[in-house]
Structure 1
């Protein structure tokens, strides 16, 4: 048995980066060999705004295609930290309902904008809100995964670690996004991997350049993607690898690539996996 046969990760990806139509999303993901899909939006509507009828229809589309949901890519925490705690807890309830209908084990969240203030000024407010979100998720069977994102409190390794260790909940873990680290001047593997790996349960796949912060296909930027994949492999990682290419454009709550560019991103990551001796299931 070769290494690529013995180490396999489940391939997923952000369907709405392909098309607004979930049937197109599903068809492209299956054509790329994915077994799962990460759900951020469908029919031009964010996942937490879909009706019960739309969620049921979406579940039917994915079932028909033989796809399972790896995560709900929610916008929870992509709001100003000055909003009341209950604001995002209520929205998380809708994300949890989507996860229940679609059978997703993870929900992606963020740790709040704080424009015009220093991080230390908002730290306690962030921790209060992240703790409330984790408590809401506890007992549901769904794990929240915090994504390191530029312009939020948890953008650099020190503050990401502060969040997850201070909240200290089994319902709050980390998603790893190398491109986002690059965009805040962090070398992902060199500067963050060792400290954060004990809490990382989900891999988001995109890369970026230090020179201009441009997002590029995995392995073509400064995100140390191959080194990270190799280290995850050696540590026994058995989770998802979710493509989030952002190759056409990005906006506040997400990004877009289109079917062709999404395929370019998938093939680039396939080369990384092959070099690391990791297969996909």
Structure 2
């Protein structure tokens, strides 16, 4: 029996981390992916907020799978030193929360700028991020967000291999690939599997780009899950449902999060994978 570790983006449930953790635990998760708490993004945490969150985690007996930073979700030609300083602060938070992983991105480009023209700048900035991560002994996991440099498999592979650091790996997101016209498993799995470190769980449809629960879209999640199982992959699978709560469209909410968790549980159970 293969065992993976279940986590989730707690701030999609509620602003209050106590509610986040209670819902995640009820769904069988042992970890949380921290993007914000009490309405404050991780890039803006201070020492007091960090201590408060660490206390809540300890009280609930929960651990952190990753700190989901917004680093690199900025203009590629913005201030490099400012973004590096922000990453340094996020890494300090991750260390305080005993998380090995920090999520980041590979930059947006200004309107009218061809993606190829940004390549050298992206690689230089990601290399600086990786150098810092190596020194601090954390692993940066790059998410394939729409419209950044690394939004399609070939460019994700380019940045991972060109930077060439063990501290920069892939956070695989099936839904995001669908939203840029990629068949995730068919078009990207084989080339990115050697660097796939972290799984972010959501699905999407080609027809309208809408995000749906795992297995209900065109993200080839059944193939991805079963092949990861056959490959012997073990690691964090983090629920990021992006299902709008009618009462609060800005977040998924507990009910929607439960729906997403049950869909993924059915998919993994059918593949003989245990979630812990």
Question: What is the TM-score when the length of structure 1 is the normalising length?
Answer: 0.95
Question: Does residue 1:276 correspond to 2:261, yes or no?
Answer: no
How many Å separate the matches in 2 of 1:158 and 1:124?
15
Query: 2:93 matched to 1:107?
Result: no
Q: C-alpha root-mean-square deviation of aligned residues, in Å?
A: 0.9
1:120 to 116, 120, 144: 116
Q: What is the rounded CA distance, in whole Å, between the counterparts of 1:47 and 1:150 in structure 2?
A: 21
Which residue matches 2:70? 75
* Helix, strand or coil at the partner of 1:146: strand
1:182 maps to 178
In structure 1, the residue matched to 2:45 is: 50
Q: SS where residue 28 of structure 2 aligns?
A: coil
Match of 1:262 in 2: 257
Deviations 1:122-167 (A, max 9, x none): 1101111111110111132210000001010100011000000000
In structure 1, what is the equivalent of residue 191 of structure 2?
195
Q: Is the 8 A contact 1:22 1:61 kept in 2?
A: yes
| Offset of residue 85 of structure 1 | 1.9
In structure 2, distance between residues paired with 1:256 and 1:165: 35
SS at match of 1:95: helix
| Whole-angstrom CA distance in 1 between matches of 2:70 and 2:99 | 16
Does residue 230 (structure 1) correspond to residue 226 (structure 2)? The answer is yes
Q: CA deviation at 1:87?
A: 2.0
Gaps of 5+ in 1: 1-5, 250-254
Is 1:172 matched with 2:161?
A: no
Q: Tell me if the contact between 1:13 and 1:244 (Cα under 8 Å) persists in the aligned partners.
A: yes
**Which of 24, 30, 33 is matched with 1:29 structurally?**
24
Q: 1:84 deviation in Å? A: 2.5
Superposition pairs for residues 87-106 of structure 1, below 5 Å? 87-106=82-101
Work out the CA distance in 2 between the residues paired with 1:272 and 1:122.
Answer: 38
Q: Is 1:159 aligned to residue 173 of structure 2? A: no
Alignment match, 2:210: 214
The separation in 2 between residues aligned to 1:132 and 1:87, in whole angstroms, is 12
TM-score (structure 2 length as normaliser) = 0.97
Q: Secondary structure at the match of 1:204?
A: strand
Partners of 1:88 and 1:133 within 8 A in 2? no
Cα distance in 2 for partners of 1:72, 1:95 equals 8
Match of 2:238 among 231, 242, 252: 242
Q: Which runs of 5+ in 2 are unaligned?
A: none
Q: Deviations over 1:227-249 (max 9, x none)?
A: 10111111111100000000018
Distance 2:227 2:58 in 1: 33
Q: Counterpart in 2 of 1:18?
A: 13
The secondary structure found in structure 2 opposite 1:260 is: helix
